[in-house]
Amino acid sequence: MASGPDVIGPGSLAPRPYASGPLVSGRPVPGPLAPSPLSPSPYDVLVLDRDLPRVHGDDVARRLVAAGSPTRILMLTAATAVEDRVHGLDLGADDYLGKPFEFPELVSRVRALRRRSARPPLPPLLERDGLRVDTVRRTATRDGRDLDLSPKEFSVLQILLEADGAVVSAEELLERAWDVHTDPFTGAVRVCMSKLRAKVGEPGLIRTVQGVGYVL
């Protein structure tokens, strides 16, 4: 979905002009933004303009995440302040690209997100030490208590559970749960981990391995 002058069509990443409006894989979405082409989505990556004319891109991202869509979201916007980027990523976007941008960078980011989508499908449930993560409904509980996680906190917890006791580096968490181009020195992982630990509660389950990463 996009509303700028370039389209990523099926099987190619070539620019071409089109009339501005909601699109799926280069084709207009029927109606005022019919949700059916979006969920469940057969696409690896959705290029989503945050400033769509009839519905805000945030609402589209929120609906996709709530529906458990595996489609990766690359959000485009002219709002490039740090708080705007953080808000977009917290909604569940996998990457965030400010306007104006160079087309080769857009292509590079889409390809990086496609590589992430190529990973094997997750089991519907991940469980460990009282934690229960439903990867389809994107819900997480501990001993039956809802953890009320943000999309990023959920992704981090899911990655740690997938590792099955192995250490996960901050770099891997950044690559898989955040924008692939996120500055590794932003402290985003550390801040998210602090919030996640508080929600998971005591006794603590997530351990820091100094200089290596995190383990659950």
92 and 168 together in one domain = no
Number of domains in the chain: 2
Contact 56, 50 (CB under 8 A): yes
110 inside domain: yes
pLDDT in tens, 146-174: 999 998 899 999 999 998 889 999 888 88
The residue from 70, 85, 117 where one domain ends is 117
The residue from 117, 151, 175 where one domain ends is 117
113 and 161 together in one domain = no
Q: Any idea what the CATH number is for the domain that residue 94 is in?
A: 3.40.50.2300
pLDDT in tens, 117-135: 666 666 788 998 999 999 8
Q: Any idea what the CATH number is for the domain that residue 202 is in?
A: 1.10.10.10
**Which residues have C-beta within 8 Å of that of residue 3, sequence separation ≥ 6?**
20, 21, 22, 23, 49, 51, 52, 53
Position 196 scores a pLDDT of 95
Nearest one of 163, 148, 124 to 198, comparing CA atoms: 148
pLDDT in tens, 44-101: 888 888 887 778 888 888 888 887 777 888 988 888 777 777 777 788 888 888 888 8
39 and 104 together in one domain = yes
Position 82 scores a pLDDT of 78
Position 101 scores a pLDDT of 86
88 and 141 together in one domain = no
54 and 100 together in one domain = yes
Phi–psi pair at 93, nearest 5 degrees: -65, 145
Quote helix, strand, coil % in the chain, to nearest 5: 30, 20, 50
64 inside domain: yes
pLDDT in tens, 8-47: 444 444 444 333 344 444 454 444 444 444 444 567 888 8
Q: Concatenated DSSP letters for 173-212?
A: HHHHHS-TT--TTS-HHHHHHHHHHHHH-SSP--EEETTT
Range of the domain at 189: 125-215
The residue from 75, 92, 117 where one domain ends is 117
